[in-house]
A and B are shown apart, each in its own frame.
Chain A
Amino acid sequence: AQSVTQPDIHITVSEGASLELRCNYSYGATPYLFWYVQSPGQGLQLLLKYFSGDTLVQGIKGFEAEFKRSQSSFNLRKPSVHWSDAAEYFCAVAGQGAQKLVFGQGTRLTINP
């Protein structure tokens, strides 16, 4: 079975600083990996996804993520955060043949002005 761990429950960064949110997964084969963002009181929106090919994936809003098979990781990065990036971020994994996603517990991002 697949599982996802987001080690950081809450991260605070200053506006303009770089950001990295960690995600580790457990799955025996090559997984499908996703990052979603949730603004307060809203549904989730897809930031980016990895299916195969280039391990560095570009997403919306200036985010990128890198798939590292050797580390079972799919960390999300942004070179310079904006106050509007404050939100909850979820990493998710789906195995080949799966009909559902498995989500991590989420990382809440706070931006200091």
Chain B
Amino acid sequence: TQLLEQSPQFLSIQEGENLTVYCNSSSVFSSLQWYRQEPGEGPVLLVTVVTGGEVKKLKRLTFQFGDARKDSSLHITAAQPGDTGLYLCAGEGEKLVFGKGTKLTVNP
């Protein structure tokens, strides 16, 4: 069974701080997706990384796929209250496998 471990589970920071969320596995994935979920809503895709070592940027968010395609990270620069939410990584193998998520709170 393919498993994805996300860390930290909870993160509370002040506006303007930087943060990194990690997604790790012992399995290799063909791609890795990052979703953001707001309270009362379904997850929404932020980005998909496919190639080992790939880095993608989405405004203040930087996503990296590990060289061996087993892990990924999400870095947010100068976090804002609007970044608050649950961040989920999902690895694509035979099926999509989700991590348990990182709940981020950015305080004004």
Q: Do A and B come from one complex?
A: no
Interface residues of A (CB under 8 A from B): none
